[in-house]
Each structure stands twice: as C-alpha cells, then as structure tokens.
Amino acid sequence: MASIDKPPIVHPGTRRNSLGLTIRDYEGSMSTLCAGCGHDSVTAAIVHALWEMDTQPHMIAKLSGIGCSAKTTAYFARGAHGFNTVHGRMATIATGAAAANRDLLYIGISGDGDSLSIGLGHLAHLIRRNVRMVYIIENNGVYGLTKGQFSPSADVGSTTKRGDPNNTPPIDPMSLGLSLGATFLARGFSGDKQQLVPIIKAAASHRGLALIDVISPCVTFNDHEGSTKSYLFTRQHDSTATEADFVPVQAEIVASVPPEGVLSVTMHDGSVLRVRSVPSDYDPTDREAVAEHLRQARAAGDVVTGLLYIDETSADLHEMHDTVSQPLRDIPFAQLCPGSEVLAGFGAR
C-alpha cells in the first residue's frame, strides 16, 4: 500500500513555534500501524518534542531498520530526509551519516528485534563510538510484522497470545548500555507522553548517543494477560526513577540554584536538563548504582522509567577522532587533494 499524505489543513488558531511552524509541520504521512499501537504515541511525542525545540525540519535525518518501528520514521518530520535501511543495520548507516555531517540531528527508530537480536552487535558498537544521535527502541517484546514471535526483550515467563511461555532470558538495553559505557540512557512508556517528551528533548541535546528504551505495547500480538509488555502490566509496574525537565538554550533560567534533590546538567548545546530523583537517593550519574537499581527492580518485577543515566563529559565520535568542526562532506575539494607535485614523489627512484 502506498503511503498516504495527511491533508494540509491548519486551523487559524493553531500555535506556532519560533520558526513559525505548527505542530502539523513536524508530522509525516498517515500511520499504517494498528489502531492503538504504542508506536504512534511515540511518534506523537517525537513530533511534539521537535516542535517545541524549534528544530528546522531539514536539519533532521531520520533512520530506521526493519519492522513496525521502522515504518514510523515516515510518520514524522516530512521535511527531513529519511532512510529506511535493512534489518538491524541502521546503527551502521547512522554512524556513517553522522561521520559525514556532524551538524544534523539524527533520530534513529528501532525495535527490540531490530536492535537486540539481528542488530545487537551494531548497537553495541554504536554505544562504544558514542555517535551523537537519538536512538529510540520501540520495545514491545514481539515481532509484530511476522505475527507475534518472541523478541529478545521478552521476559521469562511471559506468554505469546496463544499461551506459549518464553523460557529464554531477556536482553535489557538499559543494563546493556550501562555495561558498554553508554552516556545517555532513558526508559519511557508510550502511554506517558508527559514523561517522554522532555526525555526526547534532552536526548536531542546530548553530546553523544542517547539511547531511549520506550515500552510501546503491541496491541495486536502482545497486549494480553501473560504479557509483560502490555499497557496494563507497564502501568501497574512502572517505577519512576527520575522526572526530567528540559530548559532550552533560549529560555531564561529562572531559578539558578535547583531545589534540593534536583540535578542540573548543562547539555552539549547549552540547554539545561533538570532531573529530579524520585527515590531521593537515586543518582543518574553513578553508573554502578544505576546498574544495581535496575537489577533490584528487575528482581521485583518493576519497570524502571525516567532518565536513568547521564554522562555529559565523554567525547563523542567526532571528538574521539579529532575531526574538524565543519561537516566533512562540506570541505572543498581543493583542501582534500594534495596535487600533482606531491604525487610525483611517490615510489620514485
């Protein structure tokens, strides 16, 4: 089925951001996902965040792999280039794109099968390279497009729609990220846009790779009793670690001293992220403590959400490789070619 464009009708009273764009300008084509799919809510949160951040649509590049999640890159930011790549390999293509032009905002949308199964190796190395991008895993525990097989994020004991139990232990992208040196880890729930939007905004301002795991229920194949990735289960077991508040660069920071229990992080682009810990002793800058918190929560059957870990001090891909500040693709050829005289010296007697 061909993609369907949304009718470009704008209500006269619609609010505009500082670029004069309405929220509709950040939308894409009509979703072809199932009604009630968590992914559509994630798309809505992305649209909202981009609009609020006054992002120029053409300065965004959207990338995805294969699966239901991969389709969603067509559903937001129609003014941006998109690349729907192949299964599991989006991380590699995003790495190359970021290498060529460090000025764009890269948004990668993946799924639990795409990232944690076929693409796990690439995700691991994307984390190691700290490629500056927003990487969202729309995590529903199943392969939706192939009709309901378990994905590697399915919990032990959870069942398929038919009732078959999963016996294989899951891969948790947040714990994985902690062990591989990820510099920004957050978990959201597609049903909680209020929590997700500031997280996406903070991710877009992060210095390196921002990995966001969003529990995004599959209404068709994994929203039943026995699923641990259903709307009901996630609502009942949501354990908020932090609440994030994002202050953009332009905004006046009213209270310079954050209230007690609130961590204030100046992001790469100068914006400020304020993180309030819900368990008051939760420290999103302490890698070991966060890992321990996640371990305990998993044992208790809780789904920890919020901004889980942040490190704004580590070098990103370009800093590690000491590249020029100009996008590599924009360097004039004259500066790249050493010329005939130099060549004449090679291999000569």
Partner 1 sequence: MVLEKVVPALAGGGSGRVNDLAIKLANVNGTGSSSANNLLMQAFFRMGIPVSGKNLFPSNIQGLPTWYEIRVNAAGHTARALDYDVMVAMNANTYAQDIAEVRAGGYVVWDASWPLDPVLLRGDIDYLGVPVARMCTESFRSPRERTMMQNVVTAGALVALLAIDLDTVSNLLAEKFAGKDRLRDSNQRALMLGYDYAREHFDCPLPCHVEVMEGTADSILIDGNTAAALGCLYAGVTVAAWYPITPSTSLMDAFAQLCRRFRRDPVSGRNNYLILQAEDELAALGIVIGASWNGARAVTSTSGPGISLMGELIGLAYYTETPVVIVDVQRAGPSTGMPTRTQQGDILTCAYASHGDTKHILLFPGNPAECFDFAVRSFDLAEQFQTPVMMLSDVDIGMNDWVVPRLSWDDSWVPEHGPVIDAPALESRVEAYHRYANPNADEVSPRTLPGISERGAYFARGSGHNQLGGYTETPDEYLEVVDRLARKHAAAASAVPPPQIERRGARTALLTVGGCDPAVREAIELLATEGLRLDYMRIRGFPFAAAVEDFLADHDTIFVVEQNRDAQLRSLLVLETTVPKDRLRSVLVYGGFPLSAAEVVDSVRTQMEA
Q: How far is it, in rounded angstroms, from Cα 267 to Cα 273? A: 7
CB nearer partner 1, residue 97 or residue 247: 97
Q: How far is the CB of 328 from partner 1 (least distance, A)?
A: 4
In eight-state DSSP terms, residue 24 is G
Between helices 173-180 and 120-129, what is the axis angle to 10°? 40
Which residue lies nearer to partner 1 by CB, 163 or 332? 332
State in angstroms the smallest separation of the CB of 15 from partner 1: 20
SS3 labels along 150-171 = ECCCCCCCCECCCCCECCCCCC
C-alpha to C-alpha distance for 224 and 26, rounded to whole angstroms: 33
Residues that bind partner 1 (CB under 8 A): 1-3, 57-59, 61, 63, 73-74, 78-86, 89, 91-101, 103-104, 121-122, 124-125, 129, 317-318, 321-325, 327-329, 331, 333, 335-340, 342-344, 346-349
Q: Are 42 and 61 in contact (CB under 8 A)?
A: no
* Nearest alpha-carbon partner for 136 in 78, 181, 77, 197: 197
CA atoms within a 13 Å half-sphere pointing along the CA-CB vector of 6? 18
Min CB(120)–partner 1 separation in Å? 11
Min dist CB 46 to partner 1, Å, is 16
Nearer to partner 1, 3 or 296 (CB): 3
The long-range contacts involving 147-151, CB below 8 angstroms and separated by at least 24 positions, are 147/221, 148/220, 148/221, 148/222, 151/111, 151/112, 151/113, 151/116, 151/117
Nearer to partner 1, 84 or 159 (CB): 84
Nearer to partner 1, 79 or 258 (CB): 79
Closest contact distance (angstroms) between CB of 209 and partner 1 is: 15
Q: By C-beta, is 12 or 347 nearer to partner 1?
A: 347
* Min CB(332)–partner 1 separation in Å: 9
